[in-house]
Amino acid sequence: MAEILERSESTIHFHQYSWLTGAKILITSDPANVRHVMSTNFANYPKGSKWREHMDVLGETLFSADMEEWEHERKLARCFLSHHKFHDAMTEIVWDRIQTGLVPVLRHISEQALVVDLQDLFQKHILDIAWIMSIGYNPNSLSTESRKDMISQAFEDFCEAAFTRFSMPHNLWKLHRWLGIGKEKKLKHARETIDHVFADCISKRDEDGFNCQAFYHRTFGSATTRKGMRDNVVSLIFATQDTTSSVLTWFFYSVAKHPYVEAKIRDEISESSPQELNKLVYLHAALCETLRLYPPGPLLSRTAVEADTLPSGHRIERGTTVVIAVHAMGRMRSVWGDDFHEFKPERWITEHGEIKRVPHYQFTAFSAGPRICLGKELAFTMMKATAATMIYNYDIQILKEHPAEPKNSVVFHMKHGLMARINNRWT
């Protein structure tokens, strides 16, 4: 897609399946168009009813709401997420889960000389943090016992099914759902699994008498129904776990291919400590570079309410789906220069040794405009703390023969995981 967009001056306009549905779609990676859609003319480009239908497992929440409902939900979330007590509490939770959850598992893997799927490891690690953040309960998904995590698999099945919904005619995937076949069959099972795990965790939390001062209860007090609680908690966990674990997986894949990057990160940590995250500029830059090349959300979708004209001159008709090609944007010469294909953390560091501020409409991994991700800082805290701990204390050896390729999914997962050996540097 990046190559096609580069040849097409960053924008493609076409009718998808016109003989069936007449759907009008525009795909763009032009930063000026992105700014127009995501910010300048934001009110004209909501996610729309079809997006909510494609992502119906998440229910009715901040992540799927539009217009006045979205403004209300976002105001509540912003008040809580921007509070210093939230940041202090989350920092404490992240480091606690690293020391009492992740480190013992890494030690066990190293001592037993096991091969581990890093993607699975990160999914379980971040999942525990997300459950604690949302309802105050730790399911201990990450442990030295090798066991399948039901909700992570359910989210993966949901992501694949949602991608299929976006890529086929509307009436066709609805027919699949009615017949209970293909990805829709897996999606039905995934929804049932997610609902079951949610109910089970709520029950166990109540039985164990947790004093829950968590995200849902402090932020979405207006959603008093069981379904409202379920939708907000599931959406938060999905947004936290799938995206963060995806970036960490591709980060370690990229670092393994560029040993000099790992050496510089390790030197930087040695000069301070893994806990001093604000001083780890090069690590932050390496994560930004990973987000550029492997954004967890490879596409963003919006629907035009009224006709419009983009800065590129393309005319948008009412009802047109505008797709922001996030993944392609990170791989375009016109956006990043001649070295766009290189994994180069240095591009994110100024001559004064600080992180370079790149406009959100050029670097859209966290979305852009009013709907920019509110959890960006939390995501960096989780990623930097996890990556710093692992790189400083362990040698991560990715199996060379293992294929690393993405799934067809709305989240940029690895199709076959990321298999690796982990060796303790201090033994």
* Euclidean distance between CA atoms 216 and 368, whole angstroms: 24
Residues in the chain: 427
CB atoms within 10 A of CB 128: 22
User: Which 3 state secondary structure label does DSSP give 339?
Assistant: coil
φ/ψ of 27, rounded to 5, equals -110, 130
Best CA proximity match to 190, nearest among 232, 159, 158: 158
Alpha helix stretches (DSSP H) within 180-293:
182-208, 215-219, 226-257, 259-271, 281-293
The answer to whether 20 and 157 are in contact (CB under 8 A) is no
Sheet harboring 394-398: ordered strands across?
115-117, 419-424, 394-398
* Euclidean distance between CA atoms 2 and 331, whole angstroms: 6
Residue 252 vs residues 184, 256, 381, 420: alpha-carbon distances, Å: 32, 6, 16, 10
What value, to the nearest 5°, has the Cα angle with vertex 166 and ends 164 and 171? 85
* Euclidean distance between CA atoms 379 and 240, whole angstroms: 7
> Which residues fall within 8 angstroms of residue 59, CB to CB, at 6 or more apart?
227, 230, 231, 232, 234, 235
The answer to the question of whether 159 is labelled as a binding residue is no
φ/ψ of 178, rounded to 5, equals -65, -40
Q: Could you tell me which residues are annotated as the binding site for heme? A: 373
Q: Could you tell me which residues are annotated as the binding site? A: 373
